[in-house]
Amino acid sequence: MNHDVIIAGGGPVGLMLACELRLHGVSVAVLERLTEPDRTIKAGAINVPTAEAFYRRGLLPELAAAQDESMAVFRSFMKDRGPAKPPPKFAGHFAAIWLSADLLDESDPDFAGQGPAGDIGFVSQQQIEAILDRRAAELGVDVRRGVEVTGFDADDTGVTVHMEPESMRASWLVGCDGGRSLVRKAAGFEFPGTAPEITGHQAVVEMDGPDRLSRGWHMTPTGTYAHGPNPGRVLTVEFDGPPADRDAEITMAELEKSLRAVSGVDVTITGVRSATRFTDNARQATTYRLGHVLLAGDAAHVHSPFGGQGLNLGIGDAVNLGWKLAAVVRGRLPEDLLDTYTAERHPIGAWVLDWTRAQIALMRPDPHARAIRAVVGELVDTVAGTTYFAKKISGVWQRYDLPGDHPLVGRSAPDLPLDDGTRLADHLRGGAGVLLDLGGLPSHVDLDEGRVRTVRTRCPDEPNLPGVLVRPDGVVAWAGGDALADALTTWFGARPK
C-alpha cells in the first residue's frame, strides 16, 4: 500500500476530508487534476454546521479574518451604490424571496448553543479552500496537483488507482471529484434524480452603469437575477432548458445577453473576472459506499446552488466520514461503521435536493408558480415563517437518528462553557471525541480512558445535564439515561479484554 486512503479531487470536500484523516494519523494522498486551486466564484457563504466544524478544529480565527475581509468588500459595495441607507438586515433567501432578520425569532431553541461559531457566515468558497489548503500542508497531507485519476481497480482489500503515468495503491479510495465524478461512474454507483430545466450564470464582471441594476435578488417576467453583495457579482437564471455545452468557454457576450434578457436593463459588460455556468440537475447516489470505494461532496449529490447548500453539505459529509474511516483504517472499529456514513448523511442530502427543487418550482416564470410564490412570500413575511426558513437555510435543524431519548442526542453538541474557563469546542480540536463528566455519569459504566478521553468538569449553564458523550464530528451520542455503555461501544469500540 502506498497510502491508507487516496482521495480523488482536491476541492473543499477532498481537502477537508484529508485534514480530518490526518488528525488521526492516517496516511492520505489527494490527487487533484488542477495545477492551482480553483478561484472561480462559487459559494458566497457558509452555514452553522460548517462554521462549527471549523471552530471545533481551532480554525475560528481564520474564519473570522476571512469574514472581516468579505464584510469590508460588502461595505464598500454598499457605499459605492449611493444613499447611505443601512443595508437591509438579511437572514438568507428562499427562491429569491428575502428573509428579514427583523422577523427572526433568535430565541428559538434550535439556534442555541452555537458559541462563537454562530457569529460566522459570510465566508466564501475561495476563502474556505485557501484555509483548507494551508491546513492540509500543515498536517502533512500528500496533495498532488496536476494529477488526473483516470480509473481504478478495486478488490476486497483495497484499490489500485490509475493516473498518468503510474498507479498507486491504497486501502480506501474516496471520490471527492465533483458532480461529474469519474470515481462514481467507474465504481457503478446508481445516481437517480430529476432532469434540469434552467441555465444559470454567476460571474464577477465590470460593467457600464452598474447603478442601473438593482441590488439583491429579483424575479422578472423572464427569469431571476441577483446583483451583489460584492462589486460586479451578478447571477442570472433563465428557464430555457439546461446549457447546450457546460464546458464551453463563458464569453462576455453570453453573460451580457443573459443579464439583459433577465433584468430588462441594457447593461454593457466590459470585463469578466470570474464566471461559472450551472443548472439544476438534482441527483444523489443511492449509497455512498461500494466496498472500499466511497463518495463525498458533489460526487455523491448534485443540485442547483439555490439556498447555498452544496459546499456545506459536502463539508458535513467529510466531517462525518473522516473519523469513521480513520477508526476503520486504524482497526479500532469494524468496517460496518462506514454504513452509518450513508445512513446519517443520505437523508440530509435528500433534503437538500428537495429544498433546491422547491426553489426552482417557485422561480418558474409562469402564472401558477407566481401565484404559489406570492403565498410563500406572505408566509415568509411572518416571524414563524422567517424563523422556519432561517432554521432550514442555516442548517441548525440537522440531526441524525441515533439511539437515545435525550433531545440532544443526534444533534450538534452545544458549545458548553465549562467551569475551568474552557468551552466544549476546545476539547474537540485534536479530532478525538470526548466524554464530559458533569458529575452524573452512571457509576456502573467502565469508562476505559483508552477508548475516549473523559473530562471531569462542571457546566453551570446546564446544572441538570449528567454528562455528554460527543463524537469527533461534534455530534452528541449520549446525554443521560442507561445507554452510555452501548454508545461508547458503538462509536469508540469495545472495551479491550
Ligand X SMILES: Cc1cc2nc3c(=O)[nH]c(=O)nc-3n(C[C@H](O)[C@H](O)[C@H](O)COP(=O)(O)OP(=O)(O)OC[C@H]3O[C@@H](n4cnc5c(N)ncnc54)[C@H](O)[C@@H]3O)c2cc1C
Q: Between 312 and 386, whose beta carbon lies closer to ligand X?
A: 312
Segment 88-127, which members bind ligand X (CB under 6 A)? Answer: 125
Count the Cβ atoms, other than its own, within 10 Å of residue 40: 13
229 binds ligand X (CB under 6 A): no
Rounded least distance, CB 177 to ligand X, Å: 4
Of positions 33, 215, 332, 458, contacts ligand X by CB under 6 A: 33
Nearer to ligand X, 298 or 415 (CB): 298
Residue type, 92: G
Q: Which of residues 261-290 bind ligand X (CB under 6 A)?
A: 276, 278
Q: Is residue 178 close enough to count as binding ligand X by CB under 6 A? A: yes
**Bridge partners for 293 per DSSP:** 173, 290
Residue nearest to ligand X (CB): 11
13 is an interface residue for ligand X by CB under 6 A: yes
Interface of this chain with ligand X, residues 185 to 204, rule: CB under 6 A: 202
Per CB under 6 A, the segment of 305-313, 436-444, 452-460, 471-479 that binds ligand X is: 305-313
**Among 5, 6, 8, 328, which residue sits at the site for ligand X (rule: CB under 6 A)?**
8
167 in contact with ligand X (CB under 6 A): no
Segment near ligand X (CB under 6 A), from 6-14, 328-336, 466-474, 476-484?
6-14
Contact status: 467 vs ligand X (CB under 6 A): no
Q: Map residue 322 onto helix, strand or coil.
A: helix
Interface with ligand X (CB under 6 A), residue from 118, 196, 297, 472: 297
Contact criterion met (CB below 8 Å) for 143 and 156: no
38 binds ligand X (CB under 6 A): yes
Strand-pair partners of 29: 6, 142
Q: Which is nearer to ligand X, 392 or 451 (CB)?
A: 392
Query: Taking the complex as a whole, how short is the minimal distance between the CB of residue 318 and ligand X, in angstroms?
Result: 8
**Smaller CB distance to ligand X: residue 59 or 402?**
59
Give the helix/strand (H/E) hosting 455: strand 453-456
What are the φ and ψ backbone dihedral angles of 237, each rounded to 5 degrees? -135, 125
Nearest to 46 by CA among 62, 22, 30, 23: 62
Minimum separation from the CB atom of position 463 to ligand X (A)? 37
C-alpha grid cell for residue 68? 472581516
Q: Which one among 176, 267, 327, 436 touches ligand X, defined by CB under 6 A?
A: 176
Stretch that binds ligand X, among 25-33, 83-91, 138-146, 406-414 (CB under 6 A): 25-33
Grouping H, G, I as helix, E, B as strand and the rest as coil, residue 214 is coil
Q: Is 316 in the site for ligand X (CB under 6 A)?
A: no
Number of neighbouring beta carbons within 10 Å of residue 86: 6
104: three-class secondary structure by DSSP: coil
Grid cell for residue 87: 443595508
Judged by CB under 6 A, the number of residues near ligand X is 35
Q: Which of 7, 21, 43, 327 binds ligand X (CB under 6 A)?
A: 43
The strand order across the sheet containing 193-194 reads 193-194, 282-284, 301-302
Cβ at position 81, least distance to ligand X in Å: 22
Q: How many residues does the chain have?
A: 497
Count CB-CB contacts under 10 A for residue 90. 13
Query: In angstroms, what is the minimal distance from the CB of 205 to ligand X?
Result: 14
DSSP bridge pairs for 31 = 8, 144
List the beta bridge partners of residue 144: 31
- Cβ-count burial 301-320 (b if 16+ within 10 Å, e if not): bbbbbbbbbbbbbbbbbbbb
Residue 493 sits in the site that holds ligand X (CB under 6 A): no
Buried b (16+ CB within 10 A) or exposed e, 262-273: bbebebebeebe
Decide if residue 65 touches ligand X (CB under 6 A): no
Binding site for ligand X (CB under 6 A): 8-14, 31-34, 38, 42-45, 125, 148-149, 176-178, 182, 202, 276, 278, 297-298, 305, 308-312, 314
